[in-house]
């Protein structure tokens, strides 16, 4: 079998890990073994938090919509139900942005929602 000399690739791998851990505390930015462990942990946090960010933003949007809807005398659940009945297909991100930037437009959405709930026909049992 032929002899394989690995030093080029091994150094390249180590250099890459140490470059990625630049700015980490303690030995995690200079000692390869510690840096590799820190990078594994950092990557797992990054993977998890990319998903959690979506959850956090949705919570924020719902909180903003709820606050604005209650200022107009309607709880969040009823407001969203009324919009669905009215056929308004705006997502929570856009509604939250409208609630923060343009209260007058948001109050019109509340009125649309209220009218849709009032005009809803009772379902026969």
Tell me, what CATH number does 110's domain have? 1.10.1900.20
Q: Is residue 70 part of a domain?
A: yes
Count Cβ atoms within 10 A of the Cβ of residue 99 and give its class: 0-12 exposed, 13-18 middle, 19 or more buried: buried
pTM higher than 0.85 for the full model? no
User: pLDDT averaged over the chain?
Assistant: 94
Identify whether the C-beta of residue 73 lies closer than 8 Å to the C-beta of residue 104: no
Q: Does 4 map to a domain? A: no
pLDDT (tens digit, 9 = 90+) per residue, 26-78? 999 999 999 999 999 999 999 999 999 999 999 999 999 999 999 999 999 99
Query: Looking at the domain assignment, is residue 11 inside a domain?
Result: no
Question: Per the domain annotation, does 104 fall within a domain?
Answer: yes
Tell me whether residue 6 is in a domain. no
Domain count, the chain: 1
Domain that holds residue 98: 20-118
In a domain, 27, yes or no: yes
Q: Residue 7 domain-assigned?
A: no
């Amino acid at each position: 079998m032929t002899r394989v000399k690995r030093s080029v690739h091994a150094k390249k791998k180590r250099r890459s890990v140490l470059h990625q851990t630049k700015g980490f505390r303690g030995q995690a930015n200079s000692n390869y073994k510690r840096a590799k462990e820190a990078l594994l942990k950092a990557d797992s946090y990054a993977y998890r938090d990319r998903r959690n960010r979506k959850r956090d933003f949705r919570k924020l949007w719902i909180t903003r919509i709820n606050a604005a809807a209650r200022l107009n005398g309607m709880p969040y659940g009823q407001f969203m139900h009324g919009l669905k009945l009215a056929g308004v297909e705006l997502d929570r991100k856009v509604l939250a942005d409208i609630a923060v930037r343009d209260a007058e437009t948001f109050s019109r959405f509340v009125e649309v929602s209220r009218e849709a709930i009032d005009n809803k026909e009772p379902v026969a049992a």
